[in-house]
């Protein structure tokens, strides 16, 4: 991809974004940028504001963090394959100010991890790190995701889907539908969100009514799930395109009753145990389920796959796939690879290689079919 005049691979790191995980994204991006070897890469840093503006300039990350964005250029990526690269307005004209070989979205949640950004990158016909449109969208939607898991015989806990309108018009019927799952506790969750936002553990009917209303403020579709009583939370990192590899397993020890938003980001005391202290057969099972789950949703590049291990029965349930997992140097995803023999900078290199491989593969696809008349 590089030309003799520009021997370095040009990488645009995208961070921030419009989701509630904007700040987490800035932290992840700081680690990724620090790991990119400047001898090997020319790095462009593109910050996306809460409002969705794309900004680029000197120290974009610091500027975004400190909300000092006046000096930054507004940049645009056109959904037009013939105009690759990032453009800025100069006088009255759009001028290309960067032509990255690969885009690295370090964005979590809505408009970053859910397939929408990936759609733009596809339309622009550029190479990008991570899952494509389908893998991202299915990984993000907890309801559709579970349908796909069940169709592939991958164990997940039972669930029902409720629409916001059902909850608002007939709460009694909504509660009955959710209670058909069996005994409490039940978990109420927005179908498309992350970081545990809007998730409630419901011990009884009044908790559930509250939990449904809370989840319904964040999404049109709400998932109610059978609660695993004493889950151990086991996570695996997956890396690769069609035949990905799984890392060793890790365990999360939430600082609260469940791995809530506070437990993830406020307390700072949730523990990570790497490798998880679980039997070898369980670890093998979890690692193979993680790979199968990624293949089932057509994931690419990376994913952190999260499981519940039911302490009482020893049963394993796949909880979710995160296609753009937390990526700070102390996040589970890179730490699991580190423990599996792949250090953080090499992990970042590998993800970029995988992005270029995926793009080359995409370029082999015939887009037009014209029958000879």
Ligand X SMILES: Nc1ncnc2c1ncn2[C@@H]1O[C@H](COP(=O)(O)OP(=O)(O)O)[C@@H](O)[C@H]1O
Binding residues for ligand X (CB under 6 A): 157, 187, 189, 194-196, 199, 225, 227-228, 231, 233, 254, 258-259, 306, 308, 319-320
- In the complex with ligand X, the residue whose CB is nearer, 225 or 251, is 225
| Residue with nearest beta carbon to ligand X | 259
CB of 198 vs ligand X, minimal distance in Å = 8
- In the complex with ligand X, the residue whose CB is nearer, 33 or 138, is 138
CB of 140 vs ligand X, minimal distance in Å = 9
CB of 320 vs ligand X, minimal distance in Å = 5
- In the complex with ligand X, the residue whose CB is nearer, 9 or 202, is 202
- In the complex with ligand X, the residue whose CB is nearer, 105 or 231, is 231
CB of 263 vs ligand X, minimal distance in Å = 8
Spell out the residues 6+ positions from residue 58 whose beta carbon is closer than 8 angstroms to its own.
71
CB of 166 vs ligand X, minimal distance in Å = 20
- The vertex-260 CA angle with 351 and 319, nearest 5°, equals 55
HSE-CB for 75 with a 13 A CA cutoff: 26
- In the complex with ligand X, the residue whose CB is nearer, 60 or 196, is 196
How many whole angstroms separate alpha carbon 115 and alpha carbon 136?
5
CB of 358 vs ligand X, minimal distance in Å = 25
- In the complex with ligand X, the residue whose CB is nearer, 87 or 187, is 187
């Amino acid at each position: 991809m590089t030309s003799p005049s520009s021997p370095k691979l040009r990488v645009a790191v995208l961070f921030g974004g419009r989701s509630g995980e904007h700040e987490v994204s800035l932290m992840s991006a700081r680690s990724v940028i620090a790991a990119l070897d400047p001898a090997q890469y020319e790095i462009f840093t593109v910050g996306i504001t809460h409002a969705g503006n794309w900004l680029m300039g000197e120290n974009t990350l610091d500027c975004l963090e400190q909300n000092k964005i006046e000096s930054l250029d507004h940049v645009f990526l056109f959904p037009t394959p013939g105009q690759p690269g990032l453009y800025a307005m100069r006088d009255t004209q759009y001028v290309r100010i960067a032509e990255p070989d690969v885009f690295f979205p370090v964005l979590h949640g809505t408009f970053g991890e859910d397939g929408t950004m990936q759609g733009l990158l596809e339309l622009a016909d550029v190479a990008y790190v991570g899952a494509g449109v389908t893998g991202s969208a299915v990984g993000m939607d907890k309801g559709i995701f579970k349908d796909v898991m069940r169709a592939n015989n991958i164990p997940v806990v039972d669930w029902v889907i409720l629409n916001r309108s059902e909850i608002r018009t007939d709460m009694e019927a909504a509660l009955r539908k959710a209670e058909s799952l069996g005994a409490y506790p039940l978990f109420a969750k927005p179908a498309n969100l992350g970081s545990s936002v809007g998730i409630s553990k419901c011990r009884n009917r009044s908790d559930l009514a509250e939990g449904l209303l809370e989840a319904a403020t964040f999404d049109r579709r709400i998932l109610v799930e059978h609660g695993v009583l004493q889950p151990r939370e086991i996570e695996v990192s997956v890396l690769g395109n069609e035949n990905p590899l799984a890392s060793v397993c890790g365990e999360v020890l939430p600082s609260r009753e469940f791995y809530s938003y506070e437990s993830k980001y406020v307390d700072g005391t949730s523990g990570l145990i790497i490798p998880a202290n679980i039997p070898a057969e369980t670890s093998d099972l979890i690692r193979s389920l993680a790979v199968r789950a990624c293949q089932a949703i057509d994931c690419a590049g990376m994913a952190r796959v999260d499981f519940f291990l039911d302490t009482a029965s020893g049963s394993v349930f796949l909880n979710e796939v995160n296609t753009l997992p937390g990526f700070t140097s102390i996040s589970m995803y890179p730490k699991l690879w580190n423990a599996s023999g792949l250090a953080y900078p090499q992990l970042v290199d590998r993800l970029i290689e995988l992005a270029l491989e995926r793009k080359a593969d995409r370029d082999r696809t015939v887009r037009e079919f014209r029958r000879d008349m």
